[in-house]
A and B are shown apart, each in its own frame.
Chain A
Amino acid sequence: MPVSQSLEEHLKLDGISISFGPVNVIPSLDLSVRKGEMVAFLGPSGCGKTTTLRMIAGLISPSSGRITVGGRDITRLPIHDRDMGMVFQSYALFPHMDVTRNVQFGLQMRNVSKQDIERRSKEALELVQLGHLAQRKPKELSGGQQQRVALARALVIQPSILLLDEPLSNLDAKLRDEMRLQIRALQQQSGITAVFVTHDQVEALSMCDRVVVMRNGRIEQFGTPTEIYERPATAFVANFVGRTNRLKGKVGSDGQLVAAGQPLRATTKLSPGPVDVLIRPHRIALQPSSGPATTGDGNVVEGKVSSIIFIGDLVQYVVRAGDEEIVVEEATRRERAPLGVGDNVHLRWSADDTLVYPDDGK
């Protein structure tokens, strides 16, 4: 039962910057996270997402800027006074303590009464379904179990913010799917504000209320998963989140977009100059060119199938159109006879699905 999110601002980063030696890793970063929401920091490795998380936790100090939680400035607060629950990529369980004592550690540091420690740690372990392994040492647990202990240990202290640093990257694919659901469920049940660092777009989109896409220490886009996917702010975001076809194009002085050797329609406002045209493969419909060539308000491009890759639930067609190769993905169906290599085809997609960005030279 999801707790309704408030719009109340909870965690705020204000002009945060940090340099390691001569390298300015994060030039200046502003971000505001609402109470009870789960925000993903998404980006390639080295983009500064983990660094930002560690600054929130206090494990490293920003060179300048302010971090506030609920209006309280915590920028210079020592780590142990920040009240953050952190889950590490390696879980970082205390190897010399059993599961129970790992979970109780944070409570002991907070001088909670003995009875409460017993009760709350027990509840936390039940919550992650590990009550039966309470006496085990970390090394006697599987990766997924360790992950859940780490989660229970971070949640049991009822921190003001839960920080997750790539918590799923050490798990196998199946377990990862399971843990995604479990973490999201726990976060929503407790209504805790959470920051989730990941390089996996599926994790970010599927688990989080909002996603921060980062590159080179800057925020490229901050928005809901739908916004990020449907209306990527930059070509980088569009490329990084989901799969895309990238065509070289040009906008003429008359405002007409041309790519793959023919005029195209787009809903974006265009200024003249070279552009990148991005189209997601599954938003393109594929028809034999013998069919009706209705144009409508969308785009139609002629091409020839140059290769077909069968994936199972998907089939990928690589279509040669002018100078470009365009990948089209279709869900596999029985009713239609599959196209063959060398077939002439029409590619159709809507003007809404034509994402146009000024050519950034990359």
Chain B
Amino acid sequence: MTGLKHAAGISLTALSLSFAANAAMADNIVLSAYSGIFQENYVAAVVEPFMKANPDITVEFYGMPNSAQMLGTLRAQKSSPQIDVMIMDVSVAKAATDEGLFAPMDETVSKHIADLYPQARVEGVNAVGVTFDNLVLLYNTDKVKDVPTSWKALWDKQYAGQVSIPAVPDIQGTTFTIISDKMAGGTNYMESVDAGIKLLEELAPNVQTWEPRPDVYQPISSGTAAIGIGWNARAQVYSNLSDGKLGVVLPEEGSGFQINVIGLVQDAPASESAKKFIDYALSPEAQAAFTEKMYYAPTNAKAAPLIPEAAIKRTAAGVMDKMIAINWLDVAKIRDSITEQWRRRVIPLSR
């Protein structure tokens, strides 16, 4: 019995020691963001240069497949956070903010916040935009001979059964609903997306899958599908890797932004170093480096001049005026209703 108590005592000591070790090594920060190619490129473009410039700080990148999982991890670690900095989708960051998981974010954290585009600063979210991405048209260059310039190519009967659309509740579907609504003459998506839904009803019979897996880029690159929609940054990277099979177009009607925000975790163990990293991540240099590497549009207005023309042309940075202003926090209010309309009106037409 005493043996057991003793063992418990030892493990408790070990536990507190490890806590102490964490506190002592405050120059080690944990950054959590998307795993996969995002991690690969972000580490190369931002994390490594930061560590080079700050030899006393090490950044550990903890990748997770999606924002929801990041939120789940934050929730689970609420009483003793292990993560310092988080990059996630703005809508999810709103939920995290509401639950008190993010520390307040203002110019005291980073002076660069003043230089961010207005879209990168979202009222009610304790995090600021670190990347802009936008919806693009994807096509297989073998199957689609004429380079499409308009979203309308998706409706083309010659691609019947060959269209790949990530449907709602995925936000690619939500963004596409708003774009369709605008194309159909809708004026205020917050009031009604009925026109857009009607247009999507016409698209439905063309659709091969509403749930491309593992993502939308692979089936189009491989020719399983001919045409579809996806995010620009990943599409550009996969296009580079696809031997020219994957074509990417920002259609003339314009598009909508997806925003990844960077936030400081409430009660983060390495708060000061973490702030230092956030400041670096928002700097024009880091922004430019990552855009060059992965074609996310920069959120810092001062970054654009630092980016080579070839890279900037493959982002929406040059055509900010074509972008539909989407307030994701507002859209969250109509998201359930959009989902319901897809499920009742759009998807059934594609069976």
Task: Determine whether A and B are in direct contact in the complex, meaning some CB atoms lie less than 8 angstroms apart.
Answer: no
Measured CB to CB, the residues of A under 8 A from B are: none
